[in-house]
A and B are shown apart, each in its own frame.
Chain A
């Protein structure tokens, strides 16, 4: 059984820890940390967001999709680079996270691909991104938008 209340204490702790805020409703077993994204140039180019998703519970969870008011087609993507050094990107499908495990969305690997932006991503803003799980659970993260040349959550 998963619990669907995110305690205020956890949110506050994470806020003061300088991490992104896993917000409002969601399985409390899922903790999202170090979320960040890069600013966009206008709205024609897709954006990407990164974070670590940790399953602190004792049952597996499966991430099945994303929603955000920022983009019409948010989707988990994976970048792969082959032996010849050629990089390509494609939808990653469902992502299972075992109890106690975490999945990293980071440059050059998994990313939240934000296709068809509804508004430009402006440095200094944040946007809500909701992770959808197969049991109907949801976790909303407020993702900070850093500069276009940002390399990680601290930049």
Chain B
């Protein structure tokens, strides 16, 4: 009898694991997941999500329309890639000087469980003052990533915590919301700043 009980638990366990695998597949590779990477991000005007910025304001894709936009995904528990990219972005913004004031610059977390509004506020405070931090419920973050064709994945770390794999490119959009280009992770300043100027100039053309 005992043996049967164990078998029962075993079967339930297998069922649970299978369900988890299925849910994982659905979210990552399946119909519930983002489109295959390599596709162009949607225009901001086609996206639909609701987040909160680091000052507690409700924000969405419409918040970004009207000014050129730079977006980066990451998380504040990230020791290497994220502070490096935010420092790079801060350097580009310093280079752009006054022009940077005409842009939206948004850091969107892929780890809303730990990155509360307060955590985002404290973190972005250490970088260029133009950088905004956005967070929100997990399902809204998933919608954002879907629109950007960005991916992220929670990975257990040996320390017992977890880390996040995530798209580390910086996305550039024109003021109209149209996707312009991407800056790859750690791309040198000599390439990054002209790309940002291109996004800024598209705005000029649209305005005239």
Q: Does A56 contact B (CB under 8 A)?
A: no
Residue-by-residue, is B101-121 near A (CB-CB < 8 Å gives 1, otherwise 0)?
000000000000000000000
Interface residue B69 (Cβ < 8 Å from any Cβ of A)? no
In the assembled complex, which residues on chain A have CB atoms less than 8 Å from the CB atom of B151?
A: 84, 86
Q: How far is the CA of A107 from the CA of B168 in the complex (A)?
A: 13
| Chain A contact patch, size range | 20 to 34
Return chain B residues, CB-CB under 8 Å to A48.
79-80
Segment with Cβ contacts to A, from B9-17, B82-90, B198-206: B82-90
Partner pick for B77 among A46, A111, A116, CB 8 A cutoff: A46
Give the interface SS of chain A, mostly helix, strand, loop or mixed: strand
Is B90 within 8 A of A107, CB to CB? Answer: no
Interface residues of B in 171-208 (CB under 8 A from A): 182, 184-186
* B107 vs chain A, min Cβ distance (A): 12
A76 to chain B, nearest CB (A): 12
- The 8 Å CB contact of B80, one of A91, A107, A150, is A107
Measured between C-beta atoms, what is the minimum distance from A13 to chain B in Å? 30
Of B77, B90, B158, B165, which is within 8 A of A44 by CB? B77
Q: Given the complex, which residues of A lie within 8 Å of B83, measured CB to CB? A: 38, 148-149
A89 partner residues in chain B, CB cutoff 8 A: 80-81, 163, 165
On chain B, the residues within 8 Å of A45 by CB distance are: 76-77, 79
Interface residue? A147 (CB, 8 A)? yes
Given the contacts A108-B81, A115-B159, A116-B159, A85 and B168 also touching, CB distance less than 8 Å: yes
Asked if A111 contacts B90 (CB within 8 A), the reply is no
In the assembled complex, how far is the CB of residue A154 from the closest CB belonging to chain B, in whole angstroms? 13
User: Does A81 belong to the interface (CB within 8 Å)?
Assistant: yes
Q: Which chain B residues lie closer than 8 Å to A111 at the CB level?
A: 79-80
Write the nearest CB–CB distance from A123 to chain B, whole angstroms: 10
Contact segment of B19-27, B50-58, B122-130, B136-144: B122-130
Residues of B within 8 A of A (CB): 37-38, 76-77, 79-81, 83-84, 86-88, 90-91, 122-123, 126-127, 151, 155, 157-159, 161, 163, 165-169, 182, 184-186
Residues of A within 8 A of B (CB): 38, 41, 44-48, 73, 75, 77, 79, 81, 84-89, 91, 107-108, 111, 113-116, 147-151
Give me 16 other A-B pairs in contact (C-beta within 8 A), A115-B158, A149-B90 excluded: A38-B83, A41-B76, A41-B123, A45-B76, A46-B79, A46-B159, A77-B80, A79-B81, A81-B168, A84-B151, A85-B167, A108-B80, A115-B161, A148-B126, A148-B127, A151-B84
